[in-house]
Amino acid sequence: MGIVKISEQMHENLRVASSALSRSINSQAEHWMRIGMLSELYPELRHADICQLLIRVEQAEGFSIAALSQGQASAGQQEAA
């Protein structure tokens, strides 16, 4: 665990979003980081696809890059079938 420095404006955005979505500021920041990371790793996926991927991986074994790679591979196999 570490400290990440962010701008005052981003902190305010996090505060507003976390309040609206009933999350802590840290949980909201982690959520946005996950979505952003997956958007960069899988640019072909829509936001809804990323959310479904996160849910499947969390149910299976928790969030990790390795789990996401396997989850994406199995999702691709299901689409091909």
Per residue in 35-68, pLDDT (tens digit) is 999 999 899 999 999 988 888 877 877 666 666 6
CA distances from 49 to 2, 23, 55, 75 (A): 29, 22, 10, 10
pTM for the whole thing? 0.68
Average pLDDT of the segment spanning 13-40? 94
Q: What is the pLDDT of residue 20?
A: 96
Stronger pLDDT, 12 or 3, i.e. the higher one: 12
pLDDT at 67: 64
71 — pLDDT class (breaks 50, 70, 90):
low
Residues 6+ apart with CB under 8 A from 27: 18
